Amino acid sequence: MRDVCVIGLGLIGGSVLRGAAASGRTAWGATVSEVDADAASRSGYEVTANVEAALHRAAEADAIVVVSVPLPAVENLLRLVSQHASHCLLTDVVSVKGPMLEAVRRRAPYTRYVGGHPMAGTADSGWVAGSAELFRAAPWVVAVEDDTDLAAWAEVAELVLDLGAFAVPLPADSHDETVARISHLPHLFAAILASVGAQGGPLAMSLAAGSFRDGTRVAGSSPELVRAMTEGNREALLPIVDDALGRLGAARGSLASTGGLAVTINAGHEGALALSAERDALRAGVRIDLTAPDAREGLIALGERGGRITGFEGSVALGEVS
Amino acid sequence: MRDVCVIGLGLIGGSVLRGAAASGRTAWGATVSEVDADAASRSGYEVTANVEAALHRAAEADAIVVVSVPLPAVENLLRLVSQHASHCLLTDVVSVKGPMLEAVRRRAPYTRYVGGHPMAGTADSGWVAGSAELFRAAPWVVAVEDDTDLAAWAEVAELVLDLGAFAVPLPADSHDETVARISHLPHLFAAILASVGAQGGPLAMSLAAGSFRDGTRVAGSSPELVRAMTEGNREALLPIVDDALGRLGAARGSLASTGGLAVTINAGHEGALALSAERDALRAGVRIDLTAPDAREGLIALGERGGRITGFEGSVALGEVS
């Protein structure tokens, strides 16, 4: 098993470092945040504030380098990777995959790069919020592009499985459109709900119950991180926001004219049922031989259907799909 | 302590019946739902499918009658109340207070009526979903109008305290505007998020993580109940939906033009902080003598500032406010 070098030790990076070490891999990290570096060192992890030294060690050990910084900090970090660990296997946990792929092609073209994104998190941030268990049973997108080296892909997917997650093979554009739908729009909605609620002053806050607390929970997340992920996914997010605006406008029109909200509320209820159905679905096993000529298409088709990779037998990826 | 007669034994009414009995009051109920009546009887509660018989008993015992049916069923029930228990102390748990007050004035003008609304619930419905603990530490609006009899108000508030909740004194219009903000808009947003998510098919559902699950949780509620509460509060809900539409449109415009979402996301984060601040606020004690000439104004001022009543000493209501 390859060693793991994690750069950026916030909630996600910190959890990757803990999980990689817990799975028996040699793992170390670096962060420019002195608060996070101190906290991680005090917890007994090998952590430095010297990013270049950590990358140097990665180059010597031929480790997997995991980029765990917010998108606005990616370009600078990739420049360092290109200088100090240009031939390492590179992955990341950044929440948009198209812009990340472009940045890698521009700044670190010689790395073997396989993009990643764990669909897990909490409203808290920083090293102290992390846990080796954060990714347990979570989907983790491992990107498959036209030029992805499938041996490298399998290595990143195995790290993901070691962290307790499932690997979901998807192209960057498909990932970005989906996260706009199920993560970035929810963050925007939470922000707007929280603003409208707060306009009601202490009375509104004192009456806020389950629906408001649930609906605004992620508005408590770090605004910088939320901006980085939503603004970074602008191209995919715009049509999704337009869809939501159209639906909210239609609900408004219907409430004002006939007084009815049946279409809106019934569609939402069916959506909620679809989510439960997906969670409870029976899944069939699938085997994808990564040395076969159509392996790439097989992986992508599995991901697009909501399937996931749960293990490996040699060069065969074991998947399941409902 | 007055006996309690609960009509309608879904999640809320069923929890009121359980809680009233647990607090040592004689309590009985009626429901037209045979499923709920069977389940409640099997749990050992005095429950009948004969609403008129339950109201008859309420008239004889001079009990508090608690209307716990959805708004569309209220008018018919009030007609029965007016026939069989017209002089009883009447309250309700219906989620809109203006339309409910109008219905009482139209259909049961001779009852002593004090409107109520517990700010508690789950995404589940029906008797089986209820619990005597559902209202523990929850705010429960107990309506104060120009003509409210404050002795009756105190009796309803004492029942609310017996159920483990706090009593929040508010006029109907203030209640309706606030619940549009912190409950009805969140339900609409959850429905729209769930619809947009489900458009993404099994892939979107398989990747849905915390923000989507939190943001769509109440979309799993009974569509009939959500329609009853949102459509029933049309007048107060429309300007709140317009506010939300304006904010979402502004976010869209900003994302499309400059690419920035700072205004939206920072405002949402401040709203989330306001909610935590309210939850953690230090509260000062307040005493309101219900026999004083300005008692009504004192109660309403307390409620409007986010305060609540937590006990009684004779005719003095003990409140707290941050």
Q: Which of B153, B170, B187 corresponds to the end of one domain?
A: B170
Closest CA to B192 of B226, B224, B235, B228: B226
Closest CA to A33 of A127, A156, A130, A148: A127
Least confident of A159-173, A209-223, A297-311, B255-269: A209-223
Together in a domain, A50 and A159: yes
Collapsed DSSP state (helix, strand, coil) of residue B270: helix
Cα-Cα end-to-end distance for chain A: 31
Residue B319 in domain: no
User: How many C-alpha atoms does B38 have within 13 Å on its Cβ side?
Assistant: 3
The secondary structure of B33-59 as a DSSP string is -HHHHHHHHHTT--EES-HHHHHHHHH
Selected for mutation to probe chain B from A136, A207, A214, A222 (highest B CB count within 10 Å) is A207
A270 CA to chain B: closest CA distance, Å? 8
Q: Measured between CB atoms, which of B195, B202, B244 is closest to A278? A: B202
Q: Which of A170, A196, A227 corresponds to the end of one domain?
A: A170
Residue A239 in domain: yes
Closest CA to B60 of B30, B31, B85: B85
Cα-Cα end-to-end distance for chain B: 31
pLDDT tens-place string over residues B53-90 = 999 999 999 999 999 998 889 999 999 999 999 999 99
* Average pLDDT of the residues in B256-273: 95
Together in a domain, A97 and A199: no
Together in a domain, A90 and A230: no
What type of residue sits at position B115?
G
Alpha-carbon span A149 to A156, nearest angstrom? 11
Residue B139 in domain: yes
Phi/psi-derived region of residue A24, left when phi > 0, alpha when psi is between -120 and 50, beta in every other case: left
Residue A157's pLDDT band (cuts 50, 70, 90): very high
- The average confidence (pLDDT) of chain B is 94
Is a pLDDT exceeding 90 seen at residue B283? no
Together in a domain, A203 and A161: no
Residue A303 in domain: no
Q: Measured between CB atoms, which of B178, B237, B259 is closest to A207? A: B178
Q: Residue A274: which CATH number?
A: 1.10.3660.10
* Average pLDDT of the residues in B11-35: 96
Give me the pLDDT at residue B123, please. Answer: 66
Q: Residue A126: which CATH number?
A: 3.40.50.720
Q: What percent of chain A has pLDDT over 70?
A: 99
What type of residue sits at position B207?
L
Contact assignment for A237 to B223 by CB distance below 8 Å: no
Give me the pLDDT at residue A1, please. Answer: 87
Non-local CB neighbours of B147 within 8 Å, separated by 6+ positions: none
Selected for mutation to probe chain B from A15, A136, A196, A322 (highest B CB count within 10 Å) is A196
Q: Indicate the DSSP class of residue B206.
A: H
Q: Measured between CB atoms, which of B187, B193, B279 is closest to A211? A: B187
B284 CA to chain A: closest CA distance, Å? 14
pLDDT tens-place string over residues B140-192 = 999 999 999 999 999 999 999 999 999 999 999 999 999 999 999 999 999 99
Phi/psi-derived region of residue B55, left when phi > 0, alpha when psi is between -120 and 50, beta in every other case: alpha
Q: Indicate the DSSP class of residue B10.
A: S
Together in a domain, B166 and B31: yes
Give me the pLDDT at residue B116, please. Answer: 98
Here the ipTM equals 0.90
Residue B206 in domain: yes
Is a pLDDT exceeding 70 seen at residue A115? yes
The secondary structure of B106-144 as a DSSP string is HH-TTSEE--EEE----S--SGGG--TTTTTT-EEEEE-
A283 CA to chain B: closest CA distance, Å? 12
Is a pLDDT exceeding 80 seen at residue B42? yes
Residue B36 in domain: yes
User: How many C-alpha atoms does B94 have within 13 Å on its Cβ side?
Assistant: 34
Q: Which of B129, B148, B170 corresponds to the end of one domain?
A: B170
Together in a domain, A215 and A253: yes
Question: What length does chain B have?
Answer: 322
Non-local CB neighbours of B39 within 8 Å, separated by 6+ positions: B126, B127, B128
Q: Measured between CB atoms, which of A196, A203, A277 is closest to B240? A: A196
B6 φ, ψ to 5°?
-105, 120
Together in a domain, B165 and B214: no
Q: Measured between CB atoms, which of B138, B170, B268 is closest to A195? A: B268
Question: What length does chain A have?
Answer: 322
Contact assignment for B186 to A193 by CB distance below 8 Å: yes
Helix (H) or strand (E) holding A184: none
Cβ proximity of B188 and A248 under 8 Å: yes
Residue B250's pLDDT band (cuts 50, 70, 90): very high
Together in a domain, A92 and A230: no
Contact assignment for A182 to B202 by CB distance below 8 Å: no
Together in a domain, A117 and A96: yes
Q: Measured between CB atoms, which of B183, B226, B277 is closest to A209? A: B183
Residue B298 in domain: no
Q: Other CB atoms closer than 10 Å to residue A42's CB: what's the count?
A: 10
Q: In this predicted model, which residue has the larger pLDDT, B120 or B317? A: B317
Give me the pLDDT at residue A123, please. Answer: 66
Kindly calculate the radius of gyration of chain B based on its CA atoms and give it in whole angstroms: 21
The secondary structure of B89-111 as a DSSP string is EEEE--S-SHHHHHHHHHH-TTS
Owning domain of residue B16: 4-170
Cβ proximity of B210 and A218 under 8 Å: yes
**Chain A residues touching residue B230 (CB < 8 angstroms):** 255, 261, 265
Contact assignment for A122 to B210 by CB distance below 8 Å: yes
B237 CA to chain A: closest CA distance, Å? 9
Together in a domain, A36 and A150: yes
Alpha-carbon span B55 to B76, nearest angstrom? 13
Cβ proximity of B78 and B67 under 8 Å: yes
Is a pLDDT exceeding 90 seen at residue B1? no
Size of interface A-B (CB pairs under 8 A): 370
Contact assignment for A191 to B259 by CB distance below 8 Å: no
Alpha-carbon span B293 to B137, nearest angstrom? 30
B243 CA to chain A: closest CA distance, Å? 7
* Average pLDDT of the residues in A168-172: 98
* Average pLDDT of the residues in B4-23: 97
Closest-CA residue of A relative to B174 is: A203
Together in a domain, A147 and A118: yes
Instruction: Name the residue with tokens 């941050």.
Output: B322
* Average pLDDT of the residues in A191-214: 93
B173 CA to chain A: closest CA distance, Å? 13
A217 CA to chain B: closest CA distance, Å? 7
* Average pLDDT of the residues in B214-236: 93
Give me the pLDDT at residue A110, please. Answer: 85
Contact assignment for B205 to A268 by CB distance below 8 Å: no
Give me the pLDDT at residue A186, please. Answer: 97
Alpha-carbon span B64 to A17, nearest angstrom? 61
Residue A314 in domain: no
Together in a domain, A137 and A19: yes
Cβ proximity of A118 and A155 under 8 Å: no
Number of domains in chain B: 2
Q: Measured between CB atoms, which of A190, A202, A231 is closest to B259? A: A231
Cβ proximity of B298 and B319 under 8 Å: no
- The average confidence (pLDDT) of chain A is 94
Closest-CA residue of B relative to A184 is: B211
